[in-house]
Amino acid sequence: MKKKLMFKILSTLSIIFVISFSVKSQTINVSTEEQLLDAIDNPSIHTINITANINLSNSPESGLQITRNLTINGASPTNKATINAGGNRRIFNSQTANVTFTINNLILTGGNYSQEGGALYINNIKLFANNCEFLNNSATYGGGISVSLNAFFIADKCIFYNNSATYWGGAVYVNSGYFAATNSTFVGNRANSGGVFCLDHAMTCIYLYHCTMDGNTASVRGGAGFIVNIPEFFSGNLYPYNCIFTGNKPNHIMHEYKGSMFYENDNLMDAVLETNRSLVFGTNQFNSALGYIVPLPYAAKAERLTANYIKVPILTNANEILSKLNTDQAGKPRPYSTNKTVTFGTIEVYRPMCNLTVNTTTGGTTDPYGISEKDSNTTILLTATPTSCYTFKHWVDRNNVEVSTNRNLNVRIIRDTLLTAVFEQKKFRFEVHSDGNGKTNINGLSTRGCDTTVTVTATPDNSCYVFKGWANSKNVIVSANNPLNVKITNDTLLKAVFEQIKYNLTIISDNNSLGTVSPSGTNSVNCDTTITITAKPVSSANDCYVFKYWINEYSQVVSIDNPLDINIKQNTTLIAVFERKEFAVSIFATPSYMGHISGGTTGTYICEINLILEAESYDVQEYEFLNWTDDNGNIISTNPYINIVIIKDTVLIANFVPVEIDSGGFVENYDIYDISVVPNPAKNDFNIVFDNTEEQRVSISLMDLSGRNVLDIFDGIMPPDRQIYNIDANLPNGTYFIKFVINDNIVFRNVVISR
């Protein structure tokens, strides 16, 4: 009979919904509050599809006014659209007679109104709700919805959760109206009286089919329902069929005054086993296919009540559910009824067997486990035992609502019961970081499940570092593996430790008698370290020793810098090469046909060498030595024998004169020529200025310190006049000699090129 009845009711609801969709109408999609308001106000639109969640902020506080037949849809039962009133307004309000308002796949939340109906208020209309949720709404009466003045509200597969009323009907308040709920759930709703619903008028009826009312509360009476203001001669106000009432406090259903309740196969859990508070009613009549039976007595000690031979009338067509709600149990239109009482049937009070089903999630076991049959009202100890990497979290019921956090749970079996032990994997802190000289593939703090394996990898920042190992929180190396697979069994900290590579740096002198180095010898140096090395020549009075360059072990020149900064990236050997200074010495006899010099020639000489020279004439009868002069004409010595220590570039000129010329006169007139070089020193070009006093043969040439001819400047007969020669020979830095041959006389001038 139950399956047939369910089929009929579902068929009825389906037909009703089909009827509501059959009207030709314009359909529009909306995603904002403004679009929703415009669509509701547009009389040509009869179907609104909401494509995104909508927050109400500009709609009327009394609710969006529904004044014509209208259907509002969310996307699907698994993708519902939310309308959130934000706790400061009602969501919908429909009071236009004979309107049919249908809502599908919606979540109505945050509705709040100071009078009736937090989410919805309907008056004299028909409202169909399919796959909808009424969440967190509140009002003075009917936190979720208020049904008034012959209005019909039919809800299929709906959820009413956490709605509240200051006075009556936490989820639904029915005043002179009709409410039918099929396959719906009412959880956590609350009110002063009637945590789920309140029936408040003779013309009021509620039909509940396959519904669950769990954990609803009232501060005064009727945790699930409250029936008030129903005169004694009216009957058939509440029809629960195959419903579950569990955990509603302080009791399930409370009658005030008179009234009636019709039920079959309802699990009225905790039906006032102790003090008669759970199910209280007056003179009731129960309708059946066989006639009338006596009213149920007070069930002071009953553990479960079963009414034999009571059958719910079968619904046979689309409108019968509405007709049923509009008639009493005798089938007569409300408020008319018979006051006759006919007795028929029996009432049994018995202690049935109940199924106990104990399940578990991953991570533990239970005792007992599986499905077993238990005597009603027996107490069973359930024990949940986690495995090593799991902890027990809680027990939950068939609706996934928490029952207890105690893993040892005593359960009193009073109905078919399903409990699941929920275990959760232990979580541990897993922290990985580097010592600063490299990177890790996982960095920072994270949480990891127990017994999971994590692979960590360390990579040095550069080629100067190598991975040494993984250190724990005490800086102890626990593994040198890289990568490393870590099995998580406790809080773990790993630090990737890197070690800087060391190289040998060898610094030596090629000749310790010429110079020393610092640092010296072979030292171990960290890679990528910059070391300053210095070569220091041996000290002498004339600074004759100098650093030349650095070479490597292959005698390749590395650098001429001293000091030298070197960055170590490999084993390195550097040798400081020192040398004794060398100077250019030019030795001339002038005129060259008069004499010559022995003991040395023009060339390069090492610093501090003793050079012993002798100037000799070719014919002592005709020529004689006059003196030694430098490149500037300064007299060095008048002795033909000269002993000179070379400590710089030097020019030595041995001057000869004819014997017949008075030496005194010759000396005075020897270098009488007015010759100048400007500028001197010069950076690039310079001018040779010669004031020639008479026409004579002259040759002018430029030589370097070695005596090599660099440039021929003039050779010919020079007229008496000032002669200026500009020299731009792009010469290297150094000292040069300008050689003048004037008739038989040789005269030198020097010029220094310095940039």
Q: How far apart are CA 40 and CA 72, in angstroms?
A: 10
Dist CA 385 CA 371 (whole Å): 18
Q: Cα–Cα distance between 315 and 15 in angstroms, integer? A: 13
Torsion on CA atoms 85, 89, 90, 93, rounded to nearest 10:
-120
Alpha-carbon gap, residue 277 to 13, rounded angstroms: 35
Q: Which of 568-601 are b and which e, b meaning 16 or more Cβ less than 10 Å from the residue's Cβ?
A: beeebebbbbbbbbbbbbbbbbbbeebbebeebe
Tell me how far apart the alpha carbons of residues 338 and 377 are, in angstroms, rounded to a whole number.
Answer: 40
CB atoms near residue 393 (< 10 Å): 18
In which residue are the tokens 């005075």 written?
668
pLDDT computed for residue 1 by the predictor: 33
Residue type, 456: V
| Strands (E) located in 54-143 | 54-55, 64-65, 70-73, 81-89, 92-94, 100-104, 106-116, 120-123, 126-130, 133-135, 138-141
CA distances from 729 to 71, 77, 162, 443, 557 (A): 105, 99, 105, 68, 31
| pLDDT at residue number 239 | 64
- Peptide bond between residue 335 and the one before it cis (omega within 30 degrees of 0): yes
For the chain, which residues score pLDDT lower than 70?
Answer: 1-25, 201-203, 224, 226-247, 250-353, 376-377, 414-415, 660-672, 705-706
Q: Residue 444 CA to chain centroid, in angstroms?
A: 12
Handedness of CA 637, 641, 645, 647 (dihedral sign): positive
Q: Which residues pair with 526 in a beta bridge?
A: 502
Residue 754 is given by DSSP the state -
* HSE-up (13 A, CA, CB side) for residue 708: 7
The CB density around residue 634, as the number of other CB atoms within 10 Å, is: 8
Q: Are 287 and 313 in contact, with CB atoms under 8 Å apart?
A: yes
| pLDDT digit string, tens, across residues 433-445 | 999 999 999 999 9
3-class SS at 668? Answer: helix
Integer Cα distance of 745 and 436 in angstroms: 81
User: Rounded to an integer, what distance in angstroms lies between the CA atom of residue 90 and that of residue 59?
Assistant: 9
Q: What is the 3-state secondary structure (H, E, C) of 3-23?
A: HHHHHHHHHHHHHHHHHHHCC
The answer to whether the Cα torsion of 117, 121, 122, 123 is positive or negative is positive
Residues 591 and 653: their CA atoms lie apart, in Å, by 10
Q: How many helices (H) and strands (E) does the chain have?
A: 4, 75
Instruction: Give the integer Cα–Cα distance in Å for 467 and 494.
Output: 13
Backbone angles phi and psi of 570, in degrees to 5: -165, 170
* Alpha carbon distances (Å) from 610 to 328, 447, 480, 670: 146, 86, 70, 29
- The CB-side HSE value for 718 (13 A sphere, CA atoms) comes to 23
Non-local CB neighbours of 452 within 8 Å, separated by 6+ positions = 487, 488
Give the Cα separation of 59 and 85 in Å (integer): 9
Of 148, 149, 146, 161, the closest CA to residue 109 belongs to 161
In order of 179, 470, 540, 559, the CA distances from 358 in angstroms are 36, 46, 103, 85
610 contacts: CB under 8 Å, gap ≥ 6: 643, 644, 645
Helix (H, G, I), strand (E, B) or coil at 222: coil
Say if residues 345 and 290 touch (Cβ distance below 8 Å): yes
At 323 the three-state DSSP class reads helix
319 Cβ contact list (under 8 Å, min separation 6): none
Q: How far apart (Å, rounded) are the C-alpha atoms in residues 295 and 289?
A: 16
Residues whose CB falls within 8 Å of the CB of residue 551, separated by 6 or more in sequence, listed in order: 510, 557, 558, 574, 575, 577
Name, in order, each residue with C-beta under 8 angstroms of 542's C-beta and a sequence gap of 6 or more. Answer: 607, 608, 647
The whole-model pTM stands at: 0.40
Query: What's the pLDDT score for residue 232?
Result: 41
| 25 burial via Cβ count (<10 Å: 0-12, 13-18, 19+) | middle
C-alpha distance from residue 34 to each of 38, 47, 66, 413 (Å):
6, 16, 16, 54
- Cα–Cα distance for residue pair 264/293, rounded to 1 Å: 14
Token pair of 711 as six digits: 């440039």
Q: Which helix (H) or strand (E) holds 38?
A: helix 33-41
User: What DSSP line would sit under 571-606, residue for residue?
Assistant: -EEEEEEEEE-EEEEEEEEESTTTEEEES--SEEEE
Of 300, 201, 203, 210, nearest to 263 (Cα)? 210
Who's near 120: CB < 8 A, 6+ residues apart?
A: 63, 90, 91, 92, 93, 94, 108, 111, 127, 134, 144, 145, 146
Report yes or no: 413 and 378 within 8 Å, Cβ to Cβ.
yes
Residue-wise pLDDT tens digits, 52-94: 999 999 999 999 999 999 999 998 888 899 999 999 999 999 9
